[in-house]
Copies of this chain bind each other. A is one copy, B any other.
Amino acid sequence: MRFEKGHKAATRRHILDVASKCFRREGISAAGISGIMGEAGLTNGAFYPHFGSKEELVREAVANALAEHQHRLEENLHAGLDLENVIRTYLSQAHREERACGCPSAALLPEIARQPELTRKAYADGLRTFVSTLAALLPDADLPAAGRRATAIFALMVGTLQFARATPDATHAKQILEDGVKAALLLARAPST
């Protein structure tokens, strides 16, 4: 079967989308090529014409997940959400439950830290972009200071979401999320130093 022009590139993007969800849901080392390809509606043999190795897929899937998450943030901002809305959406029960389509940092950070340098570089770039976008919502006078505060605010958000996901008791998890929102807002509104 021969395919229309652009078909291969579309398949590749589809594999990346599926992989980035599988990794976030199951973890990078727990998710396998066969499972990902099966979920993409293909057989495992079709993987290697698209990617050189699992490592390459991981690197691109991490970048893909970050870009997707970044895109969703920008959409929300265009729709008029302010920083408080962004924080409340991030630290919500829905985000706690939806790991596959959620923040890649919350789902994968310790595993990303164990990846080869190229993957970590790709992650660090995506993180920097995300933090800059958050920083633009802060009232700080100079941008570098805002970036530094935004980094800490996002770290608080990521850690809080991870706590809430690990906690099996839903009530306790909800409390953790609320505490995170309160502290994040406090940091966002604190007088700039």
A120 & B166 in contact (Cβ 8 Å cutoff): yes
> Assuming A27-B110, A114-B26, is B155 touching A180 (CB within 8 A)?
yes
Q: Whole-angstrom distance between the alpha carbons of A40 and B167 in the complex?
A: 31
Interface residues on A, range: 35 or more
Q: Within the complex, which residue of B151, B155, B163 is in contact with A151, where a contact is CB–CB below 8 Å?
A: B163
**A168 partner residues in chain B, CB cutoff 8 A:** 117, 120-121, 124
A109 & B166 in contact (Cβ 8 Å cutoff): yes
A148 within 8 A of B: yes
Interface residues of A in 122-165 (CB under 8 A from B): 123-124, 127, 148-149, 151-160, 162-163, 165
Q: Give 12 CB contacts A-B under 8 Å.
A: A27-B111, A110-B110, A124-B167, A127-B167, A148-B179, A151-B163, A155-B158, A155-B176, A155-B180, A158-B163, A183-B187, A186-B187
A113 within 8 A of B: yes
